[in-house]
A and B are shown apart, each in its own frame.
Chain A
Amino acid sequence: MPKLDELKNISGKGHFYMPTPKLVMLGGLMALGILILGGVIGKSFVDYRKDVLTEDVRSRLEILSKGRADVVAAWLDGLKAVGGHITGADVVRLYSTEISLANALGEAGKDKLNKSLLAQKPYMQHTIKEYVRQNNLVQAMMVSDQGQIFLSSLDQPQLSETQLQGVVKVLERRQPIVFPAQLSSGQLLMDIYKPVYALEEESKSPRIVAVMMSTFKVGNQMMEMVATDQLSLDGERIFLMQESDHMIENIMTGDIPALQKLAENALDPFWLGNAGFDAHESVVDGSVVFGVSTDVASSPFVILHEYERDEALYPLVEYAQTVYATTLMIVAILVVSMTSYMVYVVGSRNRRRVTMQQQSMNALVRATEIRDPYLTGHSERVAKLALAIANKMDMNVAERSTLYYAAMMSGIGKIFVPREILNKPGKLLAKEKKVLHEHVNHALNVLQDSNFDLPIDEAISQMYERLDGSGYPNKLAGKEINELSRILAVCDVYCALVQPRSYRKEVPHVKAMTTFEKDADKFDSQVVDVLKHVVASE
């Protein structure tokens, strides 16, 4: 229920009140709640899409990376097969076996072979040279199982420590080995070592008597390995990397090839393992990418397939915009619908409330009517007069309604006052006055539990106070008395004066006004002035 001092602020057409700030706040909170909920739902859609998109990226990269690794493996298989005509040729195997044996044989044995081997050597050398020429190799050589070069395409061949260790590796692993690419004179070169088997029973795992080393120029082919094709998307990159000396190296093909050295575990984030798939910093240039790396089987090489994160998730941007726009639209529709509904409900509740309150008030007024018709007539007259004054003072609906109902129900309390006291013509005794003055409390008691949405009880409780403090029940003075009660006070007294009583005739208007002048310190002079005007215009 609004307080008296709030009445001035209340406006409205025929309603006692519009939704209170509390209700507005509630509405606002709900709207905010819906907005947040909408945001959360929207975000979950976007997140889900992001997950789907990321998963798509993962499987695409996995397939492409593996595919490219298979291409590299096939290329390497082809290279490993080069020279098979030589390592598998029985005459070469015989020669290599005899070279290897020559050391182990005694003088006699060596003697028998050496002449033939010596005579054969230039032809074998020529063979190697032809092989190098035919396959556009850099060089090739045959190294015995004792680590001696016995055939070479170069006139002055050299065997480095690393190369010797490579020979040992082949002897151990018994299969062709591809070595990491090296840079030499601005070219990318790669060695492949192939075993040469003795002419022995193959089932007995024949001895390896020699290793053929072929050095390939691989720059151009490696460039093709990492080339993107029509199926590639913007932002996709492919890298060929190799493990060399416990480091990862990025093979940079191009006009000036290079080997970019990376940490041993540089590719770890890009292994598909148990950890979730996510974007990481590229090892090559630090941009944020999704990536999958795949080992190329039986080789030191690794394919790294990258996809720039922003490119990959680009469809998400548009999707997110759509989702949030839709969510916003839905939220707006919801909020507007809810608000209109609330306003409608509140409005109709208001109307019902007002109606019910009016009905209750009317019932109470009728109760006093039945008890004392004089009181009723008086209350009505006071109400009318108060309204007229209120109109003249440009008061709002709430104020006028309060005045009206306060005036109408001001007499409720007097029901409980004995008639003899009420209608006593002469001055009242002190104890009679006390009983009479109780009527305010009675009225308040009756109205206590009623919730009329108007400060009717306040208005009634102060209308018998006087500006000079001579009123009752609380002897309020001056500003303590609210405006409405001042109006009611004037009206109540005026109507009582101009109404004939059993014990006196009606007091004429002019004389009544004089009374107010005489008691100017009791009554609001402004209200009295308005009263003058109101009565004059009737």
Chain B
Amino acid sequence: MMRNLLLLITFLSFVPALAQAQNLFGSIEFRAASLEALPKWTTVLKKVSLEQHLFNECDENLKICEPASLAAWRKFIQEHKGQVNQDTVQALNDFINQWGYVNDIQNWGVSDYWATPMEFLNRSGDCEDYAILKFVALKELGFPADNMRLVVVQDVVREIAHAVLAVYLEGEEPLIMDSLFNVVLPHTEVLQYVPYYSVNETTRWAHIMPHRD
């Protein structure tokens, strides 16, 4: 485990790092406004926009809204509309983390599938699916999409890939909404993740960890 941690850190390391501010999880970021290389993400974004009408219909009459999970989610949205702050983020994380984890092979028969909100609400899903729903939810709550990123990381403790949602509240270090852990923490306090790349509706960032002395 330690070896992997070392291996990964050294692999993603760079001697004399730039004096520049290090970003998410202490990494160096390279941004580009191109989502060409991320078809899974762009597909999901498209599907989300297609599902929008379902959310709206449900909003109009919660009582007859089906399925119940959708209704519950829309209820939460309605109850928390307004200013998004740390409490909101925490409440949202608590709420959505209620859905049980189901891996993609079991759920969809493939090794990695990025689910839409409706798909997640119906069947639950795995780490990136939680993040996607949280992303959509925060957008619905009025939070600017530019201040959020879905982050694909390597969990060096569990030695597997993982995905979380990074939320950049005004003037604060980005908060991490993790499907594995209800408590929302600033990224500086989350030590077991090495970011690979992060993405939102317009931009992608590539991440490299600097060499730690």
Known: A91-B206, A116-B32, A199-B38. A85 touches B11 (CB 8 A): yes
Q: Is B77 an interface residue (CB 8 A)?
A: no
The interface stretch among B12-20, B118-126, B137-145, B168-176 is: B12-20
> Are B112 and A85 neighbours in the complex by a CB distance under 8 Å?
no
The verdict on B75 contacting chain A, using a C-beta distance below 8 Å, is no
Interface presence of B10 (CB below 8 A): yes
Contact B40 A200 (CB under 8 A): yes
The answer on a CB contact under 8 Å between B39 and A89 is: no
The complex places the Cα of A131 from the Cα of B12 at a distance, in Å, of 10
Q: Which of A101, A116, A122, A201 contacts B206 (CB 8 A)?
A: A116
Q: Is the CB of A89 within 8 A of B206?
A: no
Contact between B196 and A116, CB atoms less than 8 A apart: no
Q: With the chains together, A286 CA to B14 CA distance in Å? A: 56
Chain A residues in 8 Å Cβ range of B31: 116
Size of the chain A interface, CB-CB below 8 angstroms: 33
The A-contacting residues of B in range 25-53, CB under 8 angstroms, are: 28, 30-34, 36-40
Residue of A nearest to B153 (CB): A90
Mark each residue of chain A from 72 to 113: 1 if its CB lies under 8 Å from any CB of chain B, else 0: 000000000000011001110011011001000100010011
- B11–A127 contact, CB under 8 A? yes
B106 touches A (CB below 8 Å): no
Interface size on B, residues (CB 8 A): 35
| CA–CA, A112 and B34, complex, Å | 6
A91 to B196, Cβ gap below 8 A? Answer: yes
User: Of A90, A113, A200, which is within 8 A of B152 by CB?
Assistant: A90
Q: Are A130 and B36 in contact (CB under 8 A)?
A: no
Query: Which of B34, B113, B161 has the most CB atoms of chain A within a 10 A radius of its CB?
Result: B34
B14 x A97 contact (CB < 8 A): no
CA gap between A127 and B14 in the complex, in Å: 7
In residues 97-138 of chain B, which contact A (Cβ within 8 Å)? 109-113
Complex Cα distance, B30 from A105, in Å, reads 19
CA of A130 to CA of B211, assembled, Å: 11
The winner among A91, A131, A201 for most chain B CB atoms within 10 A is: A91
Q: Assess the A113–B110 pair: CB atoms within 8 A.
A: no
Q: Return the contact of B37 from the options A119, A134, A198 (Cβ within 8 A).
A: A198
**How far apart are the CA atoms of A85 and B14 in the complex, in Å?**
16
Q: Smallest Cβ distance from B32 to chain A, in angstroms?
A: 4
Q: Is the CB of B32 within 8 A of A130?
A: no
B34 neighbours in A (Cβ, 8 Å): 98, 109, 112-113
Let me know if B206 and A94 touch, CB within 8 A: yes
**Judging by beta carbons under 8 Å apart, are A97 and B37 in contact?**
yes
A window 508-538: CB within 8 A of B: none
Contact, CB under 8 Å: B196 / A112? no
* With contact pairs A94-B37, A120-B208, A199-B37 given, residues A85 and B8 touching in the complex (Cβ less than 8 Å): yes
Set A91, A109, A134, A202: member contacting B12, Cβ < 8 A: A91
Taking A116-B30, A122-B14, A127-B13 as known contacts, 7 extra A-B pairs with beta carbons closer than 8 A to each other, sorted by chain A number, are A85-B7, A90-B161, A91-B196, A94-B204, A109-B34, A113-B32, A115-B32
A selection of 19 A-B contacts at a CB cut-off of 8 Å is A85-B8, A90-B152, A90-B161, A90-B196, A91-B12, A91-B195, A91-B196, A91-B207, A94-B197, A98-B37, A112-B33, A113-B32, A115-B32, A116-B31, A126-B15, A130-B11, A134-B7, A202-B110, A203-B109
